[in-house]
Amino acid sequence: MSPPSSSPAANHPPVETPKSSPTILQPARPAIFNFRFSADKEFKDKFVRLAEVMGVENAQKNMTEILGTALDIALEKKDPKKKLERRRKRQSGATATSRLNEVTEKDEPTKSRYIASEVSERVHERDGYQCAYVGLDGRRCTARVGLQIDHKKPFGIFRSNDEADLRILCASHNLLEAERVYGPAFIHQKIAEQRKSRSP
């Protein structure tokens, strides 16, 4: 009698590779991106209602069209780039004098930190809608969310809202610059006072 085979194939039956489950998502390819997320009932109700307003039947099948429209509406209302484009269209037929008067009427005296919307929009555009802070290593901050107007020459000292002295910073680097100028203790005290004034 010959000894039993030590080959794994002889001792174990071949294992069948499980079949992959079907998917409704298109495979990723250039210019095509797959999004998968969960949402609550409130989001679902808003989504369905937007489909009704748009006159789109079978909302789930036409999700790209509906969400694309929602994004267009939100950007048209909130994006400073879109605001600047609309302002320039309105002013395209106006004279330089009328445009100057429009800005002057909106501007507050330099005793106020108020920045005219038109100036804010131009500063955002000039800085590329990105935090303008550059670190010691020469690299620029990549933040594009929660951007704020900052005075290169501290307003509390120079009392100037001159456009050339304005820049865009993210919240973290704006705080960093404020602490550098006024000191951490002073800034933290001011933050605590603001929070206290907003509390009920």
User: Are residues 51 and 92 both part of a single domain?
Assistant: no
Q: pLDDT digits over 123-134, tens only? A: 999 999 999 999
Spatial contact of 66 and 50, defined as CB atoms under 8 Å apart: yes
- Is the pLDDT score of 107 beyond 50? no
Asked whether residue 24 is assigned to any structural domain, the reply reads no
pTM greater than 0.75:
no
Per DSSP, the three-state class of 59 is coil
Both 87 and 165 in a single domain? yes
Domain extent for 65: 40-78
How does pLDDT run across 33-90, given as a tens digit for each residue? Answer: 888 889 999 999 999 989 988 888 888 889 999 999 999 999 988 888 888 888 888 8
Task: Please check whether residue 155 lies inside any domain of the structure.
Answer: yes
Question: Domain check: are 131 and 64 in the same one?
Answer: no
| 199 is a domain residue | no
Give the closest residue to 140 by CA, choosing from 112, 116, 164, 170. 170
For residues 164 and 87, state if they share a domain.
Answer: yes
Question: Is 105 domain-assigned?
Answer: yes
The number of domains in the chain is 2
32 inside domain? no
Q: Among 61, 78, 95, where does a domain finish? A: 78
